[in-house]
């Protein structure tokens, strides 16, 4: 299988993860008016499954490094399989709430608050489980990201002139999603052997882990998304029949959104072999900065914000950039 053999390449892949994880919601913005995010999400999950399988059957099969995907999954222990699948279930619960937060509050808020909070928890939990990198630089970077989260929340509060249900709901959904985001990656990491070129009996490699993860996302979606369809956070209940009435473009955007996110996951897991899980996850969660750039400069979500809000947003970007730079330097 293909593996990453330098820290420089690991950083490049982590940046690609950041871009993928921060850009996939644009697909949701491109669907038809009235196409609910609960329906979009079914295609999104399908996209994750398809892209992880594609990587596993191509890059995960070629080359002499480590075990091929089929060999790897045959020797996987039940414990490792369940751990990776559990990671998918936790992620799916987080992401459903997260997509709901995007629908309610917009990308500019959901990403810095939800993904940023997830970054803080994720880096801490993964570092405790497997310490790699300079503690001072790593957690200084986490602190900078935390400041960016606070600035984003303040900017969003200024956006609304009056308090309303959705402003509060958007922040709460983002925070709950962020808590869950902080733990899903650890379950994937726990299922894997850390040196991808030297397999451990019962543990799995990066490609097998992502496929098992996507299986957990798919299976849990039949339960979690069904609940959300019946009791949505915004709008009225929607049935399965509506999904099959969607046009080709709407379904395609959902699959593309999932494929973009799933590709980012594969890049993140591959980079962890050189960067470590805490740093790899932390860099990928810089997606909040990418998404905020889309939300602010492309979708103009803050165009009606009061004077001075832009300064808060620019400060948010600066703190995010400094935080990510410190996380990268922590490995040095």
Closest-CA residue to 325 (of 179, 182, 143, 149): 143
DSSP, residue by residue, 167-180: HHHHHHHHHHHHHH
Residue whose token pair is 């987080």: 94
Q: How far apart are CA 94 and CA 92, in angstroms?
A: 5
Stretch 164-175: mean pLDDT? 72
Residue 158: pLDDT band by 50, 70, 90 thresholds? confident
Please check the confidence at residue 159 and state whether its pLDDT lies above 80. Answer: no
Worst-scoring range by mean pLDDT, 17-26, 29-38, 65-74, 287-296? 287-296
| pLDDT value, residue 264 | 97
Stretch 20-28: mean pLDDT? 90
The sign of the torsion formed by the CA atoms of 209, 215, 221, 224 equals: negative
Q: How far apart are CA 38 and CA 70, in angstroms?
A: 33
Please check the confidence at residue 130 and state whether its pLDDT lies above 90. Answer: no
| pLDDT value, residue 165 | 46
Write down how long the chain is: 332
| pLDDT value, residue 105 | 73
| pLDDT value, residue 37 | 86
Please check the confidence at residue 176 and state whether its pLDDT lies above 70. Answer: yes
Residue whose token pair is 């402003």: 167
Which comes out higher in pLDDT, residue 332 or 226? Answer: 226
Worst-scoring range by mean pLDDT, 78-87, 283-292, 315-324? 283-292
Average pLDDT for the chain: 89
Please check the confidence at residue 115 and state whether its pLDDT lies above 80. Answer: no
Tens-place pLDDT, residues 206-252: 999 999 999 999 999 999 999 999 988 778 999 999 999 999 999 99
Please check the confidence at residue 190 and state whether its pLDDT lies above 70. Answer: yes
Closest-CA residue to 178 (of 128, 119, 225, 234): 119
| pLDDT value, residue 259 | 98
Closest-CA residue to 327 (of 111, 134, 130, 181): 134
Which comes out higher in pLDDT, residue 99 or 188? Answer: 188
Residue 297: pLDDT band by 50, 70, 90 thresholds? confident
CA angle, residues 268, 271, 273, in degrees to nearest 5: 125
Contact, 141 vs 124, CB < 8 A?
Answer: no
Stretch 274-283: mean pLDDT? 88
Contact, 18 vs 290, CB < 8 A?
Answer: yes
**What's the whole-model pTM score?**
0.89
| pLDDT value, residue 23 | 93
Tens-place pLDDT, residues 34-92: 899 899 999 999 999 999 999 999 999 998 888 999 999 999 999 999 999 999 999 99
Q: Name the β-bridge partners of 192.
A: 204
Q: How many CA atoms lie within 13 A of 2 on its CB side?
A: 14
Please check the confidence at residue 256 and state whether its pLDDT lies above 90. Answer: yes
Please check the confidence at residue 24 and state whether its pLDDT lies above 70. Answer: yes
Cα torsion 155, 107, 140, 308 to 10°: value is -20
Residue 163: pLDDT band by 50, 70, 90 thresholds? very low
Please check the confidence at residue 110 and state whether its pLDDT lies above 80. Answer: no
| pLDDT value, residue 160 | 63
Please check the confidence at residue 292 and state whether its pLDDT lies above 90. Answer: no
Please check the confidence at residue 182 and state whether its pLDDT lies above 50. Answer: yes
């Amino acid at each position: 299988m293909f593996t990453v053999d330098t820290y420089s390449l690991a950083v490049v892949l982590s940046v690609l993860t950041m871009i993928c994880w921060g850009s996939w919601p644009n697909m949701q913005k491109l669907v038809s008016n009235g196409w609910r995010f609960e329906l979009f999400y079914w295609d999104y999950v399908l996209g994750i499954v398809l892209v992880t399988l594609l990587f596993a059957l191509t890059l995960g099969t070629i080359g002499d490094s480590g075990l091929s995907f089929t060999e790897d999954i045959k020797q996987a222990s039940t414990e490792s399989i369940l751990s990776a699948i559990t990671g998918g279930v936790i992620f799916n619960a987080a992401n459903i709430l997260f997509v709901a937060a995007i629908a309610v509050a917009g990308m500019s808020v959901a990403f810095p608050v939800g993904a940023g909070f997830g970054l803080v928890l994720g880096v801490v939990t993964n570092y405790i489980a497997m310490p790699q990198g300079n503690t001072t630089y790593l957690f200084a970077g986490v602190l900078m990201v935390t400041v960016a989260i606070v600035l984003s929340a303040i900017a969003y509060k200024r956006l609304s002139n009056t308090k309303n249900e959705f402003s509060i709901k958007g922040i709460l959904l983002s925070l709950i999603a962020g808590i869950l985001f902080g733990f899903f990656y650890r379950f994937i990491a726990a299922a894997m052997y850390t040196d991808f070129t030297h397999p451990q009996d019962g543990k799995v490699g990066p490609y097998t882990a992502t496929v098992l993860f996507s299986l957990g996302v798919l299976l849990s979606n039949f339960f979690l998304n069904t609940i959300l369809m019946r009791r949505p956070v915004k709008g009225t209940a929607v049935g399965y029949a509506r999904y099959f009435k969607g046009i080709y473009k709407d379904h395609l955007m959902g699959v593309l959104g999932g494929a973009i996110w799933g590709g980012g996951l594969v890049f993140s897991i591959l980079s962890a072999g050189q960067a470590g899980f805490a740093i790899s996850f932390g860099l990928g969660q810089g997606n909040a900065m990418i998404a905020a750039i889309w939300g602010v400069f492309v979708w103009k979500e803050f165009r009606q914000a009061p004077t001075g809000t832009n300064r808060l947003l620019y400060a948010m970007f600066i703190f995010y950039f400094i935080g990510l730079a410190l996380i990268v330097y922590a490995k040095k």
